[in-house]
Structure 1
Amino acid sequence: MKRFTPLALSVSLALLFASSAMAGENAQPSAAPVDEALAAGLDMMLQNSSLLRNGDDVWKRVREGFQLDMVNADVVKRQENLYASRPEYFKRTLDRSRKYLFHIMNEVERRGMPTEIALLPMVESAFVPTASSRVGAAGLWQFMPATGRQYGLEQTWWYDGRRDVMDATRAALDYLQTLYAQFGDWNLALAAYNWGEGNLARAIAKTAATGQTPTYENVRLPRETRDYVPKLLAVRNILEHPERFGMRLDKFPNKPYFVAVSTGKHMNVDIAAKLAGISVAEFKELNPAFNLPVFAYKTGRQMLLPASKADRFEANLGKWDKPLLTWEVYLPKSDTNAAALANEHGMSASQLLAANRISGGTLKAGQPVLVAMNDARADNAQPLESMDAPLPETPAAQTMLAKADAAPAAPLLIAQAANADSAARAAQPAMAAAQQSQAVAVLASLSGQDSYTVASGDTLFSIARRSNMSVDDLKSLNNLSGDLVQTGRQLRLKAAQPQADIQLADAGDASLPLGGGDSAADPALIKVSDSRSQPAARSTEYVVQRGDTLYSIARRFGVNHSDIQRLSGNHQSSRLQPGQRVKIVGL
């Protein structure tokens, strides 16, 4: 397993982009669109290579990015006193945050968001990744089921993306940026995150109707929402000056706690933990999205492991000569006694019920249940073809398939790595080229289909993203007026287009204006070309907003993320500048 340090990864991706451009120039067929989830992870590492700064203390990074305005000072003071009166609770929560906060901070800084946002899980979930609310919200960021699906978080029998540390963080920050774009104020965006954008929009309209300029303090909010931002500000204030509150912060090393690996195989959670040399409890703290005792692999999904254990995991996996997966799915054709089924598979009834997180002695017909593998199994007890098949509505809807660990092993790929060290800085082009080849192999596309049958749990957003389309195009092509789509419906997809070679045009001046005023320099252009002649393309101009990233702009306009080069007027900069004007051609 090769470690991808940020610098080495940056080099390999730079070569990847360069090779795509050369392919376009030489009229060669371009690479297929890449798996977007993994592409986002690789983009994250490309950006993060410039973020490991501010000495070796994450708390210093957090403090330097505070931006939120003070609201409801009396309420903030009350929340400060509440936290200060429970220092043990506050410290336990901060200790839990150390597993996740380095990654969250990198994402927040990369997007140019206030760093208070990175502390929001302290208010939402106390940094407990398995937290669930009484109304059904789940995970570090407490997504409700519908909002999670809207932002691409899968929710199946096996897996709940709302509890996925990396994917839920991506979705939460996407959602908050969308809310900021809608309301133009971070405190109001946070209020909408807590209360819902529809509720807040109506409350703002009522305030505006009275002739007032709506603010967090004068919009009529429910008690929970009125206290929501003050809680976050109280956390912010304590972290900024802990000594004022009789607290002391231990040093927080400015390096990743975890790395992400792609195993290429399903495996038992307990076996994965054993291979890494960690407890099952620690494995679940980093991989809390799996509902059952199986790590269900799929393209683009990664296993998180402590950074210090990744090498041990690789070495032990290479020597492992036993089955990695010892479970299969049984689909009862009729109501079945749990104890009898457990006995058939060499289990106790309590083991079967605990593994499936269910209670009761009878299993309903068509209710999938995880059982120990049995070579003499019945026809309706088969290994899954897809560990992420949505929970079937009927037995006929369940897709079954071949034994998981009969699949060929994919190379392990580190997608989030530790700080760049001296060896990484001296990375040779040959090594980068090899890593590029490996990255291309992993980033295989699933798009290009002409049609798609909607599965349970799909949303227009998730279908459009997988198909490299915008939601508006998908709705227009299928005459959809609303945002809901019925399971089983066949949707037409945009015909596959030749991969575009996207290049940055010379803007004339290295520093583009931050405002929307006139400029002597032409705006930066995203030029879309390919080896075949094309009709004149439609184009649009976009002004970069605070918090925009290459990834978010690419997704918004349906441009393939993996082929977008830097859009900044300064080609060496890793960030877009607010107010920068870009023209997107070839839509």
Structure 2
Amino acid sequence: MKYLRRVLFLISTLSLVFFLAACSSATKPAKTVAKPAPKPAQPAAAQPAAQEQPKVSEEPVIEIEQADVITQAETDRGEEFEKDATVLLEDAFGAYEEAQAAISREDMEGALAKLDQAYSLILKMSLPADSPLLQEKNDLRILIAQRIQKISASRTTLASSVNGSIPLVENQWVMKEIKSFQTVERKAFEESYKRSGLYREMILGELRKEGLPEQLAWIPLIESAFRPRALSRARALGMWQFIRSTGYRYGLKQDKYVDERMDPVKATRAAIQYMVELHDLFGDWTTAIAAYNCGEGQVQRVIRAQKVGYFDSFWDLFANLPYETARHVPRFIATLLIVGDPGKYGFSLPVPDPSLQYETIRVDAAVKLATLSQKLALDQALLVTLNSELRHDSTPNYPYDLRVPAGYGEQCLACIASLPQFIPPDVVTDRHTVRKGDTLGAIARRYRTSVNAIVSLNGLRSRTMIYPGQKLRVPSRGGVVTAPAPAPTAKPGESVTYVVQNGDTLFQIAKAYKTTVDAIKAANGLASDILAVGQKLVIQAGRAQ
């Protein structure tokens, strides 16, 4: 039985060997058929031709097969890379979400560990330039960096409690600004410091309400020298230097009578709201202050162009910011250092002005502040300072909360009704015909106005494209051309509104309307004989002599 099994096993083995050999021989012709192989062997005389035939037919076949194999391999590898990158990106997002959860638990160490893990994962991603995952990778990189920056800023705040939450450094840029304040800007710095007393207590009170660093109260020294009506070349206005659009964005009213960008209290509240949003966006005060100066869009564009490493220090970002913005932060830090220790930096600062004390009354009529101050023997300059947002130093023709010196509220209310109503001047324009070589800048200088005013008044789409012969409306600032006195158009005793023309004088107007210069000045609250083109005067015509 055992012998039979061995025989059967041997027969089976031999059968398998012969079968495999047959299969092997059967596959060989198939391979030659797949390639355009030469025909069966020819006679010896035809042998050379038979040798050239495979040369012509096989070369392109080999190239095609090789090219197909390479392309497929590259495709496979690309899909593999993309698949691996997708997994890495998902893992990185997962780590980022875990970091967010750790932050909500106030576990900053755990959050940093997860953020580091997420960043390590995206560093492993190798993507081609046209990969759809590239944008997601970059977006996540920025998110990670912002979170790390915000955690770092919160730690700095705790560690720097003595000096507040804004780190004070004495690097080369800060020392350069200190040097400037010590020399060429010394007088301006000391005057600004003195003026700060008018508003600093108010600003500090608003900052404390929001729990913000008190050092921020010194920003107006850099922005405007604490002048509520400061106007920059970029048309930023007020103590906190709001441009028109940002003022509207934060609720600052701007109309014919009032521009609240010049209101110290309302502008301070708007500035605080803006800075809080910037701090939430960028995570630290130095970057937020830079963005306050040039706008968050500019800073974000610079950030996108940076490596993540910049988040370790604001000063790595500093070199890539616009020059004026780049100076803004070191000037601010230089100010903090000087006011914190004047003697160390060679200063003996003046005593700040006392803070403004006032009360508020509701006024329903347009009244010149000059008229009110004369009536009550008030300091006109103080009344103007208290109400610096009034564009014509006049209350508007709608209900308005007027600030008056403390203790004068009732007296002011009692006499308001007896004061003449003020009518603000309309915008008066001149016509300018563009000549060859004219530019908007040259035209603006000639008419003592701004390029922005000309662009806005004429609805221009470009600040540079004007052409010879073009007619432009230009805001008029008055002139020296004399004009004939106006003809009276009112009956004796009747009140009329007269619009001042080029060359008008109070004497000419008074003579034409059979009245006196003093009567016109009293009726319109004029402190001097100076008139502005377009100014409206209320005149009561007199009787013929």
TM-score by length of 2: 0.48
TM-score by length of 1: 0.45
More helix by share: 2
Rg comparison, structure with higher value? 2
